[in-house]
Amino acid sequence: MFRQIIGYMPATVIPAATSFLMIYVYTRLLTPSEYGNFSLVFSAVLVIQTSLFFAIPVALTRFYPEAVDQERRDHFLVECYLLFYILCIVVAGIICIAVCCSNRHLAVLWGLAALVLLSRSAVALNQSVNRISCQTRRYNTVECAHAVLGFALGSLFIYLLGGSAEAVLLGLLVAAMVCILVDSASLSLPFRRSWKQIDRAAVTRLIKFSMPLIVVDITVCLLALSDRFLLEALGGAGALGVYTVAYNLVERPTTLICSAITTATFPVAVQVLQDYGPGAGGRQMGINGTILCALIIPACVGLAMTSPYISAVMIGEQFRLGVTFLIPIMCFTALFRGVSAHVIDHAFHLAGRTTLALWVYAPSAAANVVLNLLLIPRYGMFGAAWAGLACQALAVITGWVIARRTFPVRWQPGELAKIIVAAIPMAMILSVLRFPLSWVGLSAAVSLGALVFAVAAALLDIGGVRDRIFRLIKLFPTAAQIFLTR
């Protein structure tokens, strides 16, 4: 499993680096208001994509091993892609009606957003096929190309068309269309296979599995993204622009870390469940959760402690002050979100009880809306940040309680305690020492924090890391002998 995680590292590192570079460039080329406009539109894209189009890739991942065992892989993929196309037609029709009723400027903006939505959703579905079928190289290629092209083309269109949300969206659209071409064979499956061979019972099962997920994902979006729309309405596009920059500086790297881990670990849990039953599946999910926390906890603590350096070098001057104070709050929000989305939610998926997630996210989503309405008029973007943190923490607590009754995740409390303890000296040292507000200072702070955590992790022997280090050391003499003999 560690080899799989390492194998997917390019799909994590390169998009993460690109996302930081995107923030660095766009906060200098766009005003806070224009960045806020882009954020508002792109948030709407994320809401629809997550709410409606995320369920089919999850269902595909969940039932793909069973389809392979039954020797009906291609027929299963045809069924998944057919459901995707039907959903695209419905969504596209609704969006067309809305766009036609808008003025010319909004029609162009939201029309581009609709095309970005559909193309990115197609890329996500293709990538779920690449992931579950262990096509690591293709998965990495598409993820990296999608991120790099989106940024490069967005910057090009800003240069050609001016600093506007439309230019950024156009870059994202062209990048997604290029990535679709890589997996055009999968997208064309429904047009190359006879529909008479479709198993209606299998399609019905996919729909029954996906429909509750859609309802759950809508509540998740209300929890995660409703603050964007309320902040824009109550605080203005400028405040939304600053808030979104801080959110992206935290959310993109932490989400990519979580995705890189679960890209490798969730299919393993599905296969273990398929082969050995719920008990083994629960143990594997506990291992998955520990691996996730071993990376996401130090990442969030490190981001929180280095927020002044990140703000000083990564973003334009108009955004810096607010972002510096928002990042620490959002780091802990991202930590709770990662555990909820990539451990607790997966327990519901494996149990086939996706409707239970509503009991997790519905109360938190409702509380988030209420808290935002109360706090944003008084505290602005900081009120939105504190509301998000409180509601994400509530989601983790309720999710843990409910998941225990359906698909118990056998956590490793000893390992989790070690991870938390290892992060404490890193936080203490970074809080005491001061570095220049420059690239040199940021590099020094990040390097020192990583070194301190690595040493603490080795001393505490998190995940048996000491044995792995000793094995690597023993390999060096053997490798040197082989090299010298050549």
In the block, residue with structure tokens 């940040």: 385
pLDDT bracket for residue 479 (50, 70, 90):
very low
Q: Above 60 in pLDDT, residue 368?
A: yes
- Would you state the pLDDT for residue 484? 42
Q: What is the pTM of this model?
A: 0.68
Question: What residues contact 305, with CB distance under 8 A and at least 6 apart?
Answer: 328, 426, 427, 430, 431, 445, 449
Q: How far is CA 166 from CA 59, 74, 377, in A?
A: 33, 38, 29
Q: How far is CA 151 from CA 58, 155, 170, 179, 181, in A?
A: 27, 6, 11, 14, 19
Do residues 41 and 170 make contact, with C-beta atoms less than 8 angstroms apart? no
Alpha-carbon span 393 to 340, nearest angstrom? 9
Give me Rg for the CA atoms of the chain. 23
Helix H or strand E segment including 268 = helix 237-276
- Would you state the pLDDT for residue 390? 92
Mean pLDDT of the chain: 81
Range 430-457 average pLDDT: 90
Q: Above 90 in pLDDT, residue 135?
A: no
Reported as a single tens digit per residue, the pLDDT across 47-88 is 788 777 888 888 888 788 878 887 778 888 888 888 888 888
- Would you state the pLDDT for residue 211? 80
Range 103-120 average pLDDT: 79
What percent of the chain stands above pLDDT 90? 12
pLDDT bracket for residue 270 (50, 70, 90):
confident
Task: Calculate the dihedral angle through the C-alpha atoms of 75, 131, 400, 121, rounding to the nearest 10 degrees.
Answer: -70
Question: What residues contact 142, with CB distance under 8 A and at least 6 apart?
Answer: 123, 126, 127, 130, 179, 182, 183
In the block, residue with structure tokens 């118990």: 408
Reported as a single tens digit per residue, the pLDDT across 408-433 is 778 888 888 989 999 999 999 998 88
Label residues 130-162 b or e (16+ Cβ within 10 Å = b): bbbbeebebbbbbbbbbbbbbbbbbbebbeeee
- Would you state the pLDDT for residue 362? 81
- Would you state the pLDDT for residue 153? 93
- 457 token code pair: 């992790």
Could you tell me the sign of the dihedral formed by the alpha carbons of 445, 449, 455, 456, in that order? positive
What percent of the chain stands above pLDDT 70? 90
Determine the distance from the C-alpha atom of residue 216 to the mean position of all C-alpha atoms in its chain, rounded to a whole number: 17
Q: Above 70 in pLDDT, residue 443?
A: yes
Reported as a single tens digit per residue, the pLDDT across 197-243 is 677 777 788 888 878 777 777 777 777 777 777 887 777 777 888 88
